[in-house]
Structure 1
Amino acid sequence: MSYLTLDEYQRKWIFSHHSMPVSEQDLESIKPMTPARASQLWKENISAHSPDVDRLSASDWPMKDANWKETLDWMIAWESDEQCLPVGIDEFLNWQDDVTVYFCYEKYNVIETKWSVFKRNWKNFLFYDDGPILIGRRRKEALWFDSKGNVKLGYRD
């Protein structure tokens, strides 16, 4: 099996927090990966050697400045009462709603969902903002969030 149930997921509370409830339908589409599957995806798409963003090497694509086009503020939108993504993200990605996305917290903690589900619930995903990277299946575009309220918009190698 490649996924944990949400009940098995250590950070389940981010999707059941009373201040930001997630619909039952969306909860069914939020799939935390097993550590083994998350590790495989991380190695193939983020870094073959580093277990988290704090230890990425200069040869890992996220560490190459040329891969990043722009930096935006996400914290203002997160703190607002509106659910929409920070201005500029949706325009940059321009993905169809059914694109499979991977929200990568670290090597053993990756969540798979659909772009539409992420857009509706992005604030929940960012309860943990310690450097997660969002990538899409068969897409070059990527987002890299930091705990200072910034998100880098760029492209994977």
Structure 2
Amino acid sequence: MAHTYIPFEQYKRKWIFNHKDLPVSDEDKALISPLDQKSSMEVWNKWISNKSSRTEQFTKGDWAAKDSAWVLTEHWQSAWDSEEAALPEGFSKHFDWADDAPVYFCYEKYQVIETRWDVFVRNWKCFLFFDDGPLLISPKQKQAAIFHQSGQFQLGSRG
């Protein structure tokens, strides 16, 4: 599946990666690729849901709606607020992905960013400036994470 990307400079949410308090290196910015609406929709329909367009709409039949999909629920807000750059506890055990593993950070059906695992790990706080239920997935891996506005996250596996 060939994707079409939005040039970074034209991405309407690019400010989240240009925030003065959470600087993103130029090298990492070059590896943060927002998908256009059509490519975002293809990713969402293939790996997340072909029925729901946002995480709060998941219904029966969506893998993410199954309680059994999620094995751990923890808090991300305190790690986000801290001076530490590390992802919240639990991530390093759950995700044994290679640095260059492709990942999709999916805000909703028409808003998906493609990047690499190491880029996400270094800059995860920037991605979470929008925290209304985004999902982190990799097309080549089963592990997944969802972030809730409540400050909690869940780790699990795509079914």
Which TM bucket (shorter chain)? over 0.9
Give matches, 1:100-115, under 5 Å: 100-115=102-117
Deviations for 1:14-57, whole angstroms, at most 9, x for unmatched residues?
A: 00011111000000000000100000000001110211112121
Cα distance in 2 for residues equivalent to 1:65 and 1:115: 25
Give the % identical residues: 45
Cα distance in 2 for residues equivalent to 1:72 and 1:82: 17
Cα distance in 1 for residues equivalent to 2:68 and 2:89: 22
1:90 aligned partner, one-letter code: S
Q: Secondary structure at the match of 1:39?
A: helix
Report the alpha carbon displacement of residue 137 of structure 1 after superposing the two structures with TM: 2.1
1:67 aligned partner, one-letter code: A
Cα distance in 2 for residues equivalent to 1:132 and 1:62: 12
Report the alpha carbon displacement of residue 91 of structure 1 after superposing the two structures with TM: 1.3
Q: 5+ unaligned residues in a row in structure 2: which ranges?
A: none
Aligned residues: 157
- Residue matched to 1:32: 34
- Residue matched to 1:93: 95
Runs of at least 4 residues of structure 1 off by over 6 A?
none
- Residue matched to 1:73: 75
Give matches, 1:123-142, under 5 Å: 123-142=125-144
Deviations for 1:84-130, whole angstroms, at most 9, x for unmatched residues?
A: 11111111111111100000000000000000000000000000000
- Residue matched to 2:152: 150
1:47 corresponds, among 25, 46, 49, to 49
Q: Does 1:64 align with 2:66?
A: yes
Report the alpha carbon displacement of residue 139 of structure 1 after superposing the two structures with TM: 0.5
Cα distance in 2 for residues equivalent to 1:128 and 1:153: 18
Q: For the Cα contact (< 8 Å) 2:99–2:118, is it kept in 1? A: yes
Cα distance in 2 for residues equivalent to 1:57 and 1:8: 33
Q: 5+ unaligned residues in a row in structure 1: which ranges?
A: none
- TM-score of the superposed pair, with normalisation by structure 1: 0.98
- TM-score of the superposed pair, with normalisation by structure 2: 0.96
Q: Secondary structure at the match of 1:29?
A: coil
Q: For the Cα contact (< 8 Å) 2:47–2:139, is it kept in 1? A: no
Cα distance in 2 for residues equivalent to 1:77 and 1:55: 27
Give the root-mean-square deviation of aligned CA atoms. 0.8
